[in-house]
């Protein structure tokens, strides 16, 4: 990628909804480095004042190699605003100062959404509708909106996936309601280090001496890091056509193999607890029905073309898949998985969480 292609955020006013979450914080850190251009403003928009407070403190006390760059950019352009994507008026107000929107606000825990389905609808669906509606009704000059979705939106079997599937459709159809704004999505699977995901859970269980709990020995998941997720978002901003959904090509593994790799031969038991409400055995990032609309995106990514002909436009590129894209396919063997995790989970490298 040449230098000219890496400056897509130069001088841009960027809004990150749900910016205090695991993904939001990594996304903001990456934006602050200026590697892809120095934004004029980054607005973290969320409803939790405590999380905003701790994020602000964290960014003021960097301990990374990019400390000075991040700190300077933080002082110059990072802004925190309290608000809720469910509230149309607060959404409309914050969008007035925005060129690019990263829509990361979500209710994402599968069991929580099962027990509170309407709350999931309000955040995941109504939140997206508020963004599209505000841009259209107030004729706001927003250039790009990126809806951040999940594998669970594909062939959804749980409320979280159902609401995310509708969120994708709200954004994609937004291209018809507001053609001057490019609405695109990204969709990816399990993120290794995000809050509430399986690897931090396993590490905590191992540190406590076990047992490590898995729901079924057949379960598989795609594996990518938060930085891989941000790479997917940035690739979509650079390359996705209106209405496209970008999907990374990432490795997958049996969850029981992930547990074994993290246990690393210690005398820690693995207990099978059974499937949780709404949980899938395998992650599917592209369904068989969607495979016929799937083309090559930027290198390392698939691009799912929009279903609506008014958004897709003329021409029908040849599909690159003939079946679904599932975590059950092309699994890493235990050796490959151990190497993969060792390069991406710092706790494995120093084994400090095991008291070694």
What's the CA gap between 281 and 339, in Å, rounded? Answer: 24
CB atoms under 10 Å from CB of 110, counted, come to 21
Alpha-helix residue ranges (DSSP H) falling in 3-123 = 22-32, 49-60, 67-77, 88-95, 110-115, 117-120
89 close to 51: Cβ distance less than 8 angstroms: no
From the list 183, 101, 92, 106, the residue with the least C-alpha distance to 139 is 92
What's the CA gap between 329 and 255, in Å, rounded? Answer: 14
From the list 194, 6, 40, the residue with the least C-alpha distance to 106 is 194
Q: What amino acid positions are annotated as catalytic residues? A: 152
Burial (CB < 10 A; 0-12, 13-18, 19+), residue 106, is buried
147 close to 184: Cβ distance less than 8 angstroms: yes
What's the CA gap between 301 and 232, in Å, rounded? Answer: 8
91 close to 46: Cβ distance less than 8 angstroms: no
36 close to 78: Cβ distance less than 8 angstroms: no
Q: How many CA atoms lie within 13 A of 47 on its CB side?
A: 12
Q: What angle do CA 189, 195, 197 make, to 5 degrees?
A: 45
279 close to 251: Cβ distance less than 8 angstroms: no
What is the DSSP annotation of 100-169?
EEEE------HHHHHHSHHHHIIIIIIHHHHHHHHHHHTT----EEEEEEEGGGSS--SHHHHHHHHHHH
């Amino acid at each position: 990628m040449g230098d000219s292609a890496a400056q897509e955020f130069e001088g841009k006013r960027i809004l990150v909804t749900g910016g205090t979450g695991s993904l939001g914080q990594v996304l903001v850190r990456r934006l602050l480095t200026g590697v892809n251009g120095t934004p004029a403003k980054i607005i973290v928009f969320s409803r939790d004042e405590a999380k905003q407070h701790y994020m602000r403190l964290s960014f003021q006390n960097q301990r990374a190699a990019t400390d000075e760059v991040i700190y300077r950019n933080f002082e110059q352009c990072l802004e925190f605003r309290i608000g809720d994507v469910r509230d149309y008026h607060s959404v409309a107000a914050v969008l007035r100062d925005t060129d690019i929107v990263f829509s990361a606000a979500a209710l994402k825990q599968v069991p929580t959404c099962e027990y509170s389905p309407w709350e999931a609808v309000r955040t995941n669906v109504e939140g997206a509708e508020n963004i599209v509606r505000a841009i259209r009704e107030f004729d706001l000059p927003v250039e790009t909106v990126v809806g951040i979705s999940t594998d669970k939106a594909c062939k959804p079997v749980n409320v979280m996936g159902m609401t995310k599937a509708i969120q994708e459709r709200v954004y994609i159809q937004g291209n018809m309601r507001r053609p001057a704004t490019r609405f695109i999505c990204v969709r990816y699977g399990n993120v290794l280090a995000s809050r509430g995901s399986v690897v931090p859970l396993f590490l905590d269980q191992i540190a406590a001496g076990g047992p490590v709990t898995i729901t079924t020995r057949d379960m598989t998941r795609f594996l990518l890091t938060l930085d891989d997720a941000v790479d997917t978002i940035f690739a979509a901003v650079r390359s996705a056509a209106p209405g496209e959904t970008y999907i990374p090509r990432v490795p997958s593994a049996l969850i029981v193999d992930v547990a074994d790799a993290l246990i690393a031969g210690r005398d820690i038991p693995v207990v099978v607890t059974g499937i949780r409400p709404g949980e899938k055995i395998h992650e599917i990032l592209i369904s068989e029905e969607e495979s016929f609309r799937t083309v090559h995106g930027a290198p390392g990514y698939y691009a799912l073309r929009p279903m609506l002909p008014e958004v897709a436009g003329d021409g029908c590129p040849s599909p690159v898949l003939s079946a679904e894209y599932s975590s059950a396919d092309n699994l890493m063997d235990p050796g490959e998985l151990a190497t993969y995790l060792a390069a991406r989970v710092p706790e494995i490298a120093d084994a400090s969480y095991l008291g070694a």
